[in-house]
Amino acid sequence: MAERTLLVSKINNGTVIDHIPPGKSFKVLSILSIDSRISYTVTIAVHVLSKKGGYKDIIKIEDRFLQRDELDRISMVAPGATISIIKDYEIVEKFTVKIPDEIVGIVNCPNQNCISNSREPIKSRFVVKSQKPILIQCFYCQRPLTDLEIITNI
Ligand code: CTP
């Protein structure tokens, strides 16, 4: 069936984050520090039907291109999200976010006694034990973290 309306307009220049698991766009916005102070245009669609079945969220950010560490953070809260980089209304690059093999300086270890939480300048470090469902383990204290804990400690 032909689409009768376009839910969200195409953008001229910037980044589209599509296929975000439904409801997870709020966390992605927080990771990207998108709040009332921004001076670029952001459009958000929450819980919309996906062509591939089920529901998804979409975020379109004009005039902003994401850094590697931002993409790594998004991969952990919105696995399967696709990133399209738009220039002059054309998609110049499109890829699915990928969870890195090692997560350094992104997630805080919830174990207060962990050396990564001491005064030492040691960056948190996690090894990815499973991608789907996501399971990571602290390199220092072996504390495992599942998806919900990752979301609250990112
Ligand atoms: N998009 C946009 N502005 C453009 C081009 C594309 O906002 N100038 C958005 C589309 O609305 C879509 C995403 O970028 O959300 C990816 O575009 P495209 O690959 O053309 O869409 P689909 O074929 O629907 O992608 P998929 O198969 O990943 O669902």
Model pLDDT for residues 138-151, shown as the tens digit of each residue: 999 999 999 999 99
Ligand 1 atom with least separation from CA of 8: 11
Name the CATH topology of 14-96.
Alpha-Beta Plaits (3.30.70)
pLDDT at 121: 86
Kindly list the domain boundaries of the chain, sorted by start residue. Answer: 14-96, 102-152
* Measured distance CA(74)–CA(47) in Å, rounded: 18
- Determine whether the shortest distance from the Cβ of 56 to ligand 1 is under 6 A: no
Do 58 and 44 meet the contact criterion of CB atoms below 8 Å apart?
A: yes
- Determine whether the shortest distance from the Cβ of 89 to ligand 1 is under 6 A: yes
| pLDDT, tens digit, 9 for 90 and up, residues 14-59 | 999 999 999 999 999 999 999 999 999 999 999 999 998 999 999 9
| Burial state string for 119-135 with b = 16 or more CB within 10 A and e = fewer than 16 | eeeeebbbeeeeeeebb
Name the CATH topology of 102-152.
SH3 type barrels. (2.30.30)
Token pair 């966390």 is found at 27
Residue 3: pLDDT over 70: no
Per-residue confidence band for 1, with pLDDT thresholds at 50, 70 and 90: very low
β-strands 90-96, 82-87 pairing: antiparallel
pLDDT at 84: 98
Give the DSSP H or E segment for 81: none
Residue 107: pLDDT over 50: yes
